[in-house]
Amino acid sequence: MPRRPFACAARLFAVAALIASLSVGAAAGERRKPTITKLEVDPSAREVELFAAIEEGDLDVKMIPKDSKGGNLLIENTTDEPLTVNMPAGFVGVQVFKQIGGLGGGLGGGLGGGGLG
């Protein structure tokens, strides 16, 4: 039986296209919450302090620093009611890098011998 590389490639392409169309259809079915870009103040909304609301679980906050002078603060209301958030006058963020453990059980962690003398 002769080999038909074109037919094999066509079948493989058809299967890949089917899988891709199914994954795109599944992703399109997910609905995201709309992003609010123009804020409106609701005078009847409950007022909360930013950090107190974070501790209570009413707000989910993510800080994205841009440089040493600014960045973005993304705030998500996790309750079903509108909230008015009282913000502090300023924010300070500290970048935390992922760090690897000492690998030596706290015994210096380096490959060098340290020595006693």
Per the domain annotation, does 52 fall within a domain?
Answer: yes
For 106, the token pair is: 């706290």
Q: 60 lies in which domain range?
A: 38-85
Per the domain annotation, does 68 fall within a domain?
Answer: yes
Number of separate domains in the chain: 1
Per the domain annotation, does 96 fall within a domain?
Answer: no
Cβ atoms of 84 and 53 within 8 Å: the answer is no
Cβ atoms of 56 and 18 within 8 Å: the answer is no
Per the domain annotation, does 112 fall within a domain?
Answer: no
Q: What is the mean pLDDT of each run of 10 residues along the chain (117 residues)?
A: 62 67 58 76 90 94 86 90 90 76 56 56
pLDDT of 116 reads 62
Per the domain annotation, does 11 fall within a domain?
Answer: no
The neighbour count for residue 93, using CB atoms within 10 Å, is 10
Per the domain annotation, does 78 fall within a domain?
Answer: yes
Per the domain annotation, does 18 fall within a domain?
Answer: no
pLDDT of 46 reads 93
